[in-house]
Structures are given as structure tokens and as C-alpha cells.
Amino acid sequence: MPTTQENWNPGKKQDRHPEVSYEEKEKLFLEVKNDPRYEDFLYGCYECGICVSTCPSARFYDYSPRVIAQAMAREDVERVYDIISEDIWNCAQCFSCVRCPRQNNPGGLVTLLREVAVKNGLQETKDVLQGYSRVIYKVMLKGNQVSPDMLQPDFFPDWGPWVQNFSANMPVWRKAIPVDTLRGVTDAAWKTNRKTLLELYTIWFETGNMEIIKEIDEGLHDLLADVMQEELEEG
Amino acid sequence: MTTTVEEILERKSHAVTRDPEIAPTHDIRESLFELEAKGEIVVQRVPENHVEVKTKFGRTKKIPIDHTWHHKSCGQCGHIPGYTSSIFWLHRQFNLDYLDPTDQTSCTGWNYYASATSNAAAQAAVMSRNFAAAHETGYFPMIHCGTSYGHYKEIREQLVHHKGLRDEVRRILDKLGKPLVIPEELVHYSEWVHVMRNKFAEKQTVDMSMIRATVHPACHYYKIVAEDAIYDPDIYGGQRTATVTGTLEALGIDVADYSTWFDCCGFGFRHVLVQRDFTRSFSTLRKIEVMKNEVNPDLTVTHDTGCVTTLDKSQFSAKAHDRNVGIPVLSDAQVAALAMGAHPFRVVQFHWHSTDWRPFLDKLGINWQKYWDEFQGDLEAIRAGTKSGITWEDADKPVVY
């Protein structure tokens, strides 16, 4: 729900998500709190606002790392649910907020909240990540976050007309790079050998990462699982 | 006791030399050696040929000079390849032994910070697999990406502090036939550039004294596990990280300060790929335009993948809105390579950058058109099939401008 003048509710007295039971909200809160990393990320809050003053997202969104630290510390289950369903995807993950004099890591808390949101397949999270699936496909399958062939004018129109030169000249420009592992490679950032990719696929399966993908995008999971399993069977 | 603004400013006017004995954090390297003594992990030692520097709390950090395993960066290799080629070119100018491996994967940290579609065990296993691959070769990891460097520092903390995570990662690595290896130091390439800066200056052939530059320090370099970043009392009085600025000053560039130096670039990880309204606004309104208004630099220089991409690519749309932008963006490695005569297109690969870099090269007195025409000749030969591609044989030799 976007924040407007009418529904602005800084004290969060109203239940903004009555469609979700308190028990469900509490379950998600406890998943975050019981993560082994939680105690490394939150020590309390002075309410000094240093994290907010350095936060890029706080300048452009209705977003506050201080509120996140406070809501978690107060164990305000309802407010934490607001955060997990609305706020967390605004964070830029720059970790400027670790300037906290209390040694808190609000960016780290956001990471834990995001993990729980993804793992539980929250609809708001699915919506946010919808346009991002092709990147997940690339990084899990190729072992690279981005590749040269992603530089297409329709994907980056705001980067200016020069982007057309990237896509128009891609094969030959990539051959004109002296680095051996980059030269001529267009579908990945660099050449990765097959054994290494099989090891990466093993990590995804062994750590439960594939189950996480299934929760957020079943179609993407099935596609990835098919390709990886086939490759692993071939050995 | 109340501290006045005058007292703070007075204190900040003095260079800071910190005493490691009173550092507010535990030295994690001691914990690594303790875990190694218990047989839990293997600690890969920094090669003999290294330089010692001081980090934020006055501790000593060893930066290897050669025999390094280059942990490449997705964004550098994928979208700004002159960044990567400049790092290697600098190594080659000094005949330094390095390895450009094919058994390295992304740290996958960009994806993790963008989407959280992973977990602690997977992230730690990806890091440990890469480090085990480096260890197998005997070469020491040098990490090109600021996010990989910051992410790995955080994972190192988690592995040290959580036995359950170590056990889980070891179980997975056992399946891959690899040990759990953590290097003695986590080293970012810009730290190598920093310790090599005076050597670069000795081989410098392009006068850069007429250039004014701003520096954007990369968040994941010095904010995540802040104590590992290099600090020097002679640079910003020891109150900001010394990397990049030290390099530019060694090359004779006038480094100009600006008020939003601490702000991030606006990359945002997910934002830069699928929600760029935030990225464009932040990078231009809080960084580029502030630099332009306050010091009007010829160039801005940074030391991470995402920062170069964001600061460079965001300027087109801001210009369309008549904002005060138009600063070319390079990495420290590209600037150092250019200063030593690297070819602007075969090595520095300016053509992958978007904000107009021509005025910067004009100011340096580099006839970029001549080298662009030469590069076009390379491309024609590649298109015609008479040349398979540009190799180090074509690119190694410095240009005499």
C-alpha cells in the first residue's frame, strides 16, 4: 500500500495488513530474529538518526533504517510486517548506515528481512522481483551477474543512444579486448570452465538455494533445475 | 561534557595516527589462525613479495605485489572491460606474475544484495569455492570488485563467528573435494594500485598536472567491515580511506573535495537493473551535480564496478533534463594505465563509457581521433577475418603521445 497523506500512520496504530493474521506476522518476525546473524546486526538504538542522515533511500523514498532498527528492537510484530511487505526493497544496500554509533547494521537487518520475505514467497516480494528474473537466471546458470549481451537499447534506453553501438558492435568489440578470459565472450562476463559451473550448481542444490527460487518463481526454478540437473548428470 | 563544533573542527584539523592496541574491534586474522590451529580451516598466506600498509585502526595489512589470482568482477568484465584490461596491463608493464583464471565464479553478491534469493550458506560456499580454487594454484586472491571484497569480508566474519555455518560450508566443500580456505588478508585491487602508485609515477609519460578530479570512495570497500580499508595520515589527515586519492595525487592530479563524498553512488544493486529512477536521481543530484557545482572537475575517479557504471551511465538522462552534469568517469586503474601510455581503446576501452570523455583526453593533449582510427583498423581486420582479436601483443606496448 503506497503511503499517502490520508493513510500516513507514523505511530502505526492501525493494522495496515488485516488480511494477514498476527500469527503469520509473528512467524515471519521470529524467522528473522532467530537467524544466527541477527545478534551481530542489532544492539539497540539511540534514535540518533545518523543512519537516516547517510541513507540514500531515505532521501527518495518513505524509508528509514532507524525505524527498521527500532521496530525490530521493540519486537513490534505489526510494524515489522509493514516493513517486510513494503519498505525493504527500497534499501540500496550500500551499508552507509553501519556508521551507527551503536554498531547496528540496519542494511544487514534488511538483508535478513528480505531473505525471509523471499523464502516465504510474499506476494509483494514476487511483484518487486518480477522484472529481475532474467538476472537470477544469468547469475545462477552462468556464474556471472551481468553479460555483454544484456547491453540492449530496450533494456537500457535511459543510458542514451550510445547503447545502440554496444549491441550493434558487440561481437567485434568483444574480440577487441586483450584479456584472454574476456576476448570474444558475449553471453557471460568471462570464460568459466565447465567443472567450475558444475560445482556452482552443486552449491545451489546443496544449500537449498533452488528451493528459495521455487518459492519466488516456480517457472524460473523449473527452467534452472532442468538445465542444471542435465548438466550435472552428464558430469 | 559538551563538545563544541569548534572543538570537533580543531580535532579534525590534525592528522590521525591510530594505535592498533586500542582498536575497538578484534583482529579477525588472529581468529583465522586459531581456527587453522584447530584444523578447521586452511589460511592461505600472503606471498613473500608484498608491501605493508596501515588500515583504519592502525593495524598492518599485507598487500601482495605479484603471484596473484585475479578474482574478476561481473560488471567490469561484462560492461566496462577497459577496467579489467587496465588492471592486467599495469601488471604486465612490470612483468608481474599473475593468473587470470577460468575456475572463478562471481561472488554472486550483487544478486544477493539485489534480490536476497540466496542464503548465508550458499554465499559462504560460493566464496569458499573460489578461495579453494585460488589455493589449488598457489596464487593469492586479488579481488577486483568492491562488492565482492566487502561481501567476502562480511562472510569471513560470519564464518569465524558461527561454527554451524563453517560446518555446513565444509560439508558442501567436501562434496566438491575442496578444503575450507580463507586467505590471510582480503585484498582489493585498488589496494595493489595504491601500493604501486609511486612505481606508476616513475613510468608516467602523460602529464596530468592540469587535471582536476574528484574521488568517489566505494561504499563496499570502506563501509562494510570498515577496519580493513587503507588509511594514511598524509591523505585526508587519515580520516578517510587513502586508496584512489593517494594514486591520483601520485600521478600529479589535483584532487578536489566536495561535500557529498560520503554518499553512495546510487547503484542500489536491484535499482540499477530494474528501478533506475532512483539510481539516476541519486547519482546525478547527490553526486555528479554536486561535484560539478562545487569544483567542476575534469574527471571523477572511483574504484568499483557499480560506481563507475552508475556515475557514468546516469548522466545522459540528467543532461536531457538540463541538469548540470557531464563529468567523465574512470577507475583508478584506467587513469594509471592512461598515465603510463596505455592505448585509449585497445587497453582503456573508452568506447564502453557513455559520458563524453573526449574533452578530458583533449585536455591531456591526447589526439584520441588518431587512436580511434587506429582501433577502427583493428575492428575492420577482425570483421574481415584477417585478425582473430586484439591480444596482449597488440596492447602491451605503451603509446608515446
**CB contact burial B242-272 (16+ within 10 A = b; e otherwise):** bbbbbbbbbbebebbebebbebbbbbbbbbb
pLDDT at position B150:
98
Number of H helices, E strands in chain A: 13, 0
A139 shares contact with chain B (CB less than 8 Å): yes
Q: Which residues of B touch A147 (CB under 8 A)?
A: 78
Question: Closest to B88 (Cβ–Cβ): which among A93, A128, A179?
Answer: A179
Confidence class of residue A7 from pLDDT cuts 50, 70 and 90? low
How far B251 CA sits from the closest chain A CA (Å)? 25
* Model confidence pLDDT, tens digit, residues B237-274: 999 999 999 999 999 999 999 999 999 999 999 999 99
Show residues of chain A in contact with B77, CB under 8 Å.
Answer: 144, 179, 181-182, 189-190
**pTM for the whole thing?**
0.96
- A103 Ramachandran zone, left/alpha/beta (phi>0; psi -120 to 50): left
Q: How confident is the model at residue A3 (pLDDT cuts 50, 70, 90)?
A: low
Q: A116-139 pLDDT, tens per residue? A: 999 999 999 999 999 899 899 999
Q: What angle do CA A51, A55, A60 make, to 5 degrees?
A: 140
Within chain B, which residue ranges are assigned CATH 1.20.1050.140? Answer: 26-183
Grid cell for residue B26: 578484534
β-bridge mates for residue B299, sequence order: B213
Average pLDDT over residues B136-147: 98
For residue B109, what pLDDT is reported? 97
Is the pLDDT at A4 greater than 80, yes or no? Answer: no
Q: Does A89 touch chain B (CB under 8 A)?
A: yes
Locate CATH 3.40.50.11810 in chain B: 203-372
Spatial distance between the Cα atoms of B35 and B103, rounded to a whole number of angstroms: 26
- Residues in chain B within 8 Å Cβ distance of A144: 74, 77-78, 105-106
Going by C-beta distance under 8 Å and a sequence separation of 6 or more, which residues neighbour residue B319? B325, B326
Q: Which pLDDT value is given to residue B3?
A: 78
CB contact at 8 A, B283 and B311:
yes
Q: Does A154 touch chain B (CB under 8 A)?
A: no
Residue from the list A193, A206, A212 with its beta carbon closest to the beta carbon of B172: A206
Residues 304-323 of B with CB under 8 A from A: 313, 316-317
C-alpha cell at A118: 523471499
Of A60, A128, A206, the CB nearest to B175: A206
The average pLDDT across A8-30 equals 82
Architecture in CATH for domain B26-183: Up-down Bundle (1.20)
In chain A, pLDDT over 70 holds for what percent of residues? 94
Instruction: Check if the beta carbon of residue B12 is closer than 8 Å to that of residue B239.
Output: yes
Instruction: Provide the angle, in degrees to the nearest 10, between the axes of the packed helices A106-119 and A209-216.
Output: 70
For chain B, the distance separating the N- and C-terminal CA atoms, rounded to the nearest angstrom, is 60
pLDDT band of residue B395 (cuts 50, 70, 90) is very high
Determine which of B103, B104, B118 to mutate to test the interface with A (most A C-beta atoms within 10 Å). B118
Per-residue pLDDT, averaged over B137-159, amounts to 98
Question: Which phi and psi (to 5°) does residue B71 adopt?
Answer: -85, 100
Distance from CA of A30 to the nearest CA of B (A): 17
Distance from CA of B369 to the nearest CA of A (A): 17
Confidence of residue B5 (pLDDT cuts 50, 70, 90): confident
Average pLDDT over residues B45-51: 98
Residues A73-111: tens digit of each pLDDT? 999 999 999 999 999 999 999 999 999 999 999 999 999
pLDDT at B291: 98
Give the H or E element holding residue B300: strand B299-302
ipTM score of the complex?
0.95
How far apart CA B345 and CA B341 sit, in angstroms, is 11
Asked if residue A11 has pLDDT above 60, the reply is: no
Task: State the average pLDDT for chain B.
Answer: 96
pLDDT at B123 over 70: yes
pLDDT for res B192: 98
> Quick one: average pLDDT of B111-117?
97
Indicate if the pLDDT at residue B2 is higher than 80.
no
3-state secondary structure of A198: helix
What are B312-323's pLDDT values in tens digits? Answer: 999 999 999 999
CATH of B203-372, one of 3.40.50.11810, 1.10.510.10, 3.40.640.10, 2.60.40.1760: 3.40.50.11810
pLDDT recorded at residue A15: 74
pLDDT of residue B256: 97
C-alpha distance from residue B386 to each of B231, B390, B395 (Å): 50, 12, 17
Q: Are B189 and B333 in contact (CB under 8 A)?
A: yes
Q: To the nearest whole angstrom, how far is the Cα of B87 from the nearest Cα of chain A?
A: 10
Residue B9 confidence class, pLDDT cut points 50, 70, 90: confident
Backbone angles phi, psi at B230, to 5 degrees: -75, 130
Contact A196 B110 (CB under 8 A): no
Would you place residue B401 in the very low, low, confident or very high pLDDT band (cuts 50, 70, 90)? confident
